[in-house]
Amino acid sequence: MFAFTYHRPHSLRSASAMIHKVEEGKLLAGGQTLLPTMKQRLAAPSDIVDLMQVPELKGITVKGSTVIIGAMTTHDEVATSAAVGEAIPALAKLAGGIGDPQVRHKGTIGGSVANNDPAADYPAACLALNATIITNKRKIGADAFFKGMFETALEPGEIIKAIAFPVPSKANYQKFPNPASRYAVVGVFVAKKGKDVRVAVTGAGQNGVFRARTMEAALAVKFNAKSLQGVSIPADGLNTDIHAGADYRAHLIGVMAKRAVAAAV
Ligand SMILES: Cc1cc2nc3c(=O)[nH]c(=O)nc-3n(C[C@H](O)[C@H](O)[C@H](O)COP(=O)(O)OP(=O)(O)OC[C@H]3O[C@@H](n4cnc5c(N)ncnc54)[C@H](O)[C@@H]3O)c2cc1C
């Protein structure tokens, strides 16, 4: 690892001031991605701004029919939150299926969403639940936030404060996990709110998380696993790697989507 200067601000305002003042700074959340990247010398920030002591980024609140989760909330806190479990059980289940206990106790929702790993679970939840990413500067809808593999709408130094999830009437997440890391080979999050049905796929797309519009249209007619019979996702544009080929991923999307709908109803 290269040498760097470590900062520990105690407010969002000072975190923002620090990250803009330094030469090549990086925000640190749970460190589950950033620190391995630095150890492998794939990143060499001059300064690290640790968000751990920033109180504005913590906590889970339910306001009306919206669940708001602070960026520094760990996956374990989401998984075990009674408020999340009651309002959006699919989201609590998703968080409980991330990585292993060590990763869940350190990794944060803000870090995961900011990182936008193409195999991460939360981006699928954000997209399917039509979440809003709240930063220290603005509010960004999930459709506009996820731009591509490891790419988001965040500007340099912009800090995610919280993520607001509208409570759906029905939702479920099914993942075919990599047996070693638990990252999604394919994960499908299905959500219904009123007449609006959204299906988001992670782990499969060459450009990261995406919405399966043909599945959404079929499910909008009738929200039932049978509606997905004959609706297939083309393998073009899907990933092929050592874990799975594009054809297999396309097949898995269908299987996971049907399971998610069946579980949601
Ligand atoms: C062994 C292992 C298994 C894993 N398995 C899974 C899995 O099954 N599913 C899954 O979804 N994930 C998985 N992960 C990823 C992990 O859960 C974390 O979500 C992920 O590493 C990022 O979160 P973090 O809090 O550690 O962020 P960090 O590593 O601290 O930061 C990641 C990036 O986000 C930026 N950032 C962090 N917080 C903010 C913020 N508030 N505003 C703006 N930018 C910010 C940082 O600058 C950095 O660029 C795994 C990780 C490991 C090491």
Q: Which atom of ligand 1 is nearest to the CA of 177?
A: 8
Residue 111 alpha carbon to ligand 1 centre in Å:
4
Q: How far separated are the first and last CA of the chain, in Å rounded?
A: 49
2 pLDDT band, cuts 50/70/90, is: confident
Burial track 3-17 (b if 16+ CB lie within 10 A, e otherwise): ebeebebeebeebbe
Closest CA to 243 of 186, 199, 193: 186
Q: What is the pLDDT of residues 140-176, one digit of tens each?
A: 999 999 999 999 999 999 999 999 999 999 999 999 9
193-196: long-range contacts, CB 8 A cutoff, minimum separation 24: 193/130, 193/166, 193/167, 193/168, 193/169, 194/169, 195/220, 196/130, 196/220
The percentage of the chain sitting over the pLDDT mark of 70, rounded to a whole number, equals: 100
Q: Which atom of ligand 1 is nearest to the CA of 97?
A: 8
Residue 87 to residue 142: CA distance in whole angstroms: 19
Domains in the chain (CATH in brackets) are 5-50 (3.30.43.10), 55-166 (3.30.465.10), 170-264 (3.30.390.50)
Q: What is the pLDDT of residues 79-104, one digit of tens each?
A: 999 999 999 999 999 999 999 999 99
Q: Which residues line ligand 1 (CB under 6 A)?
A: 26-34, 51, 71, 75, 98-99, 103, 107-108, 110-112, 114-115, 120-122, 154, 159-160, 181-183
Residue 261 alpha carbon to ligand 1 centre in Å:
28
Is pLDDT of 1 > 70? no
CB atoms within 10 A of CB 111: 25
